[in-house]
Amino acid sequence: MSAAMERGGQEVVLEEGQMLVSKTDLRGVITFINKPFEEVSGYSEKELLGSPHNMVRHPDMPSEAFADLWAKVGQGRPWIGLVKNMTKKGGFYWVEANVIPIWRNGSIIEYMSVRRKPSRDQIRDAENLYRNLKMGAVSSLAPAPSFKEKVAAMSLKSKFGSMLSIAAAIFAGIVAFGMMSSGFASSMMTVVLPFAVFFGAFLVSLVVFMNRSVLAVIDRMEGDFKNIAAGLYDNNISVQKNSDLGILDQMLHIIQIKMNFEIEYARGIALEATAINAALEVCDTSVMIADNAMNITYLNTAVKSMMSDAESDLQEALPNFDAGNLMGANVDVFH
């Protein structure tokens, strides 16, 4: 944290790059937390595990935000939003929360929330929105979708079907008009050319639509996949649309968040192991570690030195004892 732990009502500002992670079961009970979440919230791991996640909910947060969150993750979709949480001492901290469902064998088994530091502009916008929700000035987190947004949310099948239906209806109308006109044959001749022009324009529009709605999205997704493959997990992937490609975006976002957490978690464990190893190497106490099969997996400098010094004495009782080949050997070498 860039600020000391607060004293009642003060803001705790997250550090750049800091990641607060928690997991809950399907009822919202905390099953996992990482160290930064424990430190920022002010609660101990013992206090957090087994408790409902809303123990850190700040009263300024509108119920509509959490209703939207649970509705989306319950449907297997990710949720992104600004959340104001409360610390154990009564302070608060803002986070950009990415909440995702975790699947196993086709079913959602838990939820994971990965939170990062938001910008001050994001916080200001969220404060205004949540204040208006509390006052009843607005009724939902997002404004009503425009016609363009509604069309964008349609499935590809619906979009193509609608465009073909419109074309067929226009063609049928033109033919009907020609049949009702005097001199059907001559009318049809005058109709064919305009229709050909219309149909050509329709095909051009279809190509443009394909490029914008499909190919452009696929190109962007390809870039996101390449970034993830390169270890970049801060791609701004939209998760709001429920169209065919929108659902793919949602799944890609879930993969990005989950991979980022797992890699950072593994890196943290590796750093802890390195620190422990460094400490063991310089301590005077002899330390030997074996796995479940009783094969030696670690010897610190002190035990190596002790075994080397005592090798000749040990060989009197254990003729095959070799102090230089203990790593990987079974502890039975001492029997």
Residues 298-326 have pLDDT tens digits of: 888 888 888 888 888 888 888 888 888 88
Q: Mean pLDDT score of the chain, rounded to an integer?
A: 80
The predicted structure's pLDDT at residue 193? 56
Q: Please check whether residue 30 is in contact with residue 48, taking contact to mean a CB–CB distance below 8 angstroms.
A: yes
pLDDT band at 228 (very low <50, low <70, confident <90, very high): confident
Supply the DSSP symbol for 6. Answer: P
Three-state DSSP class for 104?
A: strand
Whether the pLDDT of residue 80 is over 80: the answer is yes
- Extents of the domains making up the chain: 20-135, 147-260, 288-334
The predicted structure's pLDDT at residue 1? 42
Lowest mean pLDDT among 33-47, 78-92, 181-195: 181-195
Distance separating alpha carbons of residues 243 and 239, to the nearest angstrom:
10
Lowest mean pLDDT among 3-7, 227-231, 243-247: 3-7
More confident residue, 118 or 223: 118
pLDDT band at 45 (very low <50, low <70, confident <90, very high): very high
- SS3 for 169-230, per residue? HHHHHHHHHHHHCCCHHHHHHHHHHHHHHHHHHHHHHHHHHHHHHHHHHHHHHHHHHHHHHC
What is the fold, at CATH topology level, of the domain defined by 288-334?
Beta-Lactamase (3.30.450)
| Average pLDDT of span 194-199 | 64
Distances (CA, A) of 217 to 32, 41, 50, 210, 246: 35, 39, 42, 10, 9
Whether the pLDDT of residue 128 is over 50: the answer is yes
Three-state DSSP class for 330?
A: strand
Distances (CA, A) of 260 to 98, 161, 208, 286: 12, 39, 36, 38
pLDDT band at 138 (very low <50, low <70, confident <90, very high): confident
The predicted structure's pLDDT at residue 294? 87
Asked if the domains 20-135 and 288-334 are classified in one and the same CATH topology, the answer is yes
Query: Considering the domain 20-135 in this protein, what is its CATH number?
Result: 3.30.450.20
The predicted structure's pLDDT at residue 229? 76
Whether the pLDDT of residue 7 is over 50: the answer is no
The predicted structure's pLDDT at residue 2? 41
Residue count of the chain, please give it. Answer: 335
| Average pLDDT of span 207-215 | 68
pLDDT in tens, 46-65: 999 999 999 999 999 999 99
The predicted structure's pLDDT at residue 102? 92
More confident residue, 69 or 298: 69
The predicted structure's pLDDT at residue 5? 41
pTM of this prediction?
Answer: 0.63
pLDDT in tens, 234-286: 888 877 676 777 778 888 888 888 888 888 888 777 777 777 777 777 777 88
Whether the pLDDT of residue 201 is over 90: the answer is no
Supply the DSSP symbol for 27. Answer: T
